[in-house]
Amino acid sequence: MHLPSYLITAQFALKRTYRKLMNNILAPITKLAFVVITIFALGCNSDAILTTVTSDDIYPKENRPINFHENAENAQRGNILTLANRGDPPAGFDPMRTSSIALHHIGGSIFGPGNLVRRCRTNMYLICPDLAKNWRATQDFKEWTFSIRHDVTWHDGTPFTAQDVKFWFDLATGNTNSATAIRAPAYFKGELGRIEKTEVLEFNRVRITLKDRSPHFLGVLANPRLKFAHPTHLMENRIKNGALGLSPLDIGLIGTGPFKFVSYAPGSLIQVRRNNDYWEKDALANRLPYLDGIDFVIMTNPTSMDAAIRTGRIDGGARGEGHYLSVERKKGYDNDSKSNVYYGRMQGGLFRLAFNVLRPGPWQDQRVRTAISLWIDKEASIPSALGGFGYISPILSPSNPFTSSDFQTWPRFNPELKMKNRITAKDLMAQAGYEDGFTMTHLCRGRIAIRCEFLQAQLAGLNINLKLDIVDEGSWNRSRIALDHDSQQGSFFTTPVPEGTESVFGRYSANPDAYAKHEDETIQALYQRMRSTSSHTERVALWRTLERYLILEQVYVVPIAGTIQIVPFRSSVKGLPIPPEDGHTHTDFSTTWLSE
């Protein structure tokens, strides 16, 4: 597509930035993983056998970009792909209510890979058209006009139109209500910016007007969590008539994606089958998808999943924390000559501790939060809490161009300063009047309780009794947006686009899914300035200011370590693009096929 002239410079800058990112992303992460695991092994036992992780181990050939022309030439049509899914999708399968991978691993097949735009399959750091075929922005970046494809239909045969786009934005921003009640906006409302109005124009176009400049609006919309799952013709009247809790599941999971929903047996199986009217074509102009369908087998036990893959009963693993392979579980595949698998590997999200400073307690004191940040042994978390694969970084990935280049010299990220940091932490606790410690509640997601237990053991060194509230997935999804706990970890992945992180680091009143609960207007102002600037240099500087303010100055969040996520697949699974990070990406399976 062609961008207007005033966007060309920005487009080229974006491509240069992300090309550099793609060229550099692998080596630094691999190096960090190697260093961290080696340091821990030496520190624990001088006789220990070092666990080393090489670049070939972390990023194998299977992770390299797919040649989609060759894939189209070789693809075999038919067959049912069978994948594990870590649990039942929460919140009525509603992408506006949850970012859970238990939904989005399945959701891409039903609702499609993106929004009006999407992350490109060949390079997830570039933006490709999706349900919009082209777009234009005014010079002040406050008005964005999208031309909607004419060949897209909902799964019931109804055309997807600009009216559906308007309805989606109205739902997401809280502008669709009944006569007597208000429907809550989407959890990601803050990421979209302050939308003034959405208008349907002639020729199947939609115009979105924002109150503030938003040069990076496309990057926000490309987030794969922002899916169209709310058909106007099936939901608008019912919501206006009072059905405010109406969910996609209530109307039969009608999407626009490459596969149609067929059946759902809670706790057991979700089946989708080919959408013969799907609009997208492959590199040879043949209709996608290649598969006849996908069976998602709900497998809450990762060990059972491993056994099913190794014996050929299913074709691939689930995405999601708790199901990604640990070092020990991966050895089971490597040592099984009959398993015949390859690994999809992605840089995962951060393990962190976030404070609820809206709830009274010692954690409202910045000195206490700083002491905790200095005390926690980040390197030790990788083998003991993250399964052996990991890296250290503040918020975004270590090689993301927005990440502060000197973060490894910061006291809290420099392992050589561990003893000094812990002395300082004790002093700060004494200054704050909490030398004898205190009790702090912690919302703990049951499937990864080992991380909560790691935090509990670490904080005991400061005489802090971390009281764990271990909950199931449903309770966790409800509780993480409430103010009932003193601390939590939040979900584990943040988008690589800085502006898109506001939903998890912004003010609680506008971002209920935020990890830390605060109402800090400085953070809101920094996000607004990032969204408004068209200067890449200024954007990087603003992010780094926010990064320091959030984790060094105010310490609302304590970053601990990031995961390296490993998903096993049978060698017969072909044409599946594996993103270098963010496992929510490329879950439509349009280009995937089975060789046997």
**pLDDT of amino acid 5:** 31
Residue 50 has pLDDT above 60, yes or no: no
Q: Which fold has domain 348-564?
A: Dipeptide-binding Protein; domain 3 (3.10.105)
Give mean pLDDT, residues 412-425.
Answer: 95
pLDDT digits (tens, 9 = 90+) for 521-544: 999 999 999 989 989 999 999 999
**pLDDT of amino acid 275:** 99
Give mean pLDDT, residues 352-380.
Answer: 97
Give mean pLDDT, residues 91-99.
Answer: 95
Phi/psi-derived region of residue 198, left when phi > 0, alpha when psi is between -120 and 50, beta in every other case: beta
Residue 55 has pLDDT above 50, yes or no: no
Residue 585 has pLDDT above 80, yes or no: yes
**pLDDT of amino acid 46:** 27
pLDDT digits (tens, 9 = 90+) for 255-307: 999 999 999 999 999 999 999 999 999 999 999 999 999 999 999 999 999 99
Q: Distance between alpha carbon 184 and the CA centroid of its chain, in Å?
A: 22
The CATH label, of 3.40.50.1100, 3.40.190.10, 1.10.520.10, 1.25.40.10, for the domain at 65-291+565-594 is 3.40.190.10
Highest mean pLDDT among 212-216, 217-221, 317-321, 459-463: 459-463
Residue 17 has pLDDT above 70, yes or no: no
Of the given ranges (22-36, 102-116, 381-395, 565-579), which has the lowest mean pLDDT?
Answer: 22-36
Give mean pLDDT, residues 27-50.
Answer: 32
Give mean pLDDT, residues 499-526.
Answer: 92
Q: Kindly state the tokens that stand for 100.
A: 């859970």
Residue 112 has pLDDT above 70, yes or no: yes
Cα dist from 429 to 312, 362, 364, 366, 516, whole Å: 54, 10, 13, 10, 21
Residue 23 has pLDDT above 80, yes or no: no
Give mean pLDDT, residues 419-431.
Answer: 98
More confident residue, 431 or 49: 431
Task: Give the residue extent of every domain in the chain.
Answer: 65-291+565-594, 348-564
What whole-number distance in Å separates Cα of residue 403 and Cα of residue 388? 24
For Cα atoms 119, 262, 222, give the angle at the middle one, nearest 5 degrees: 10
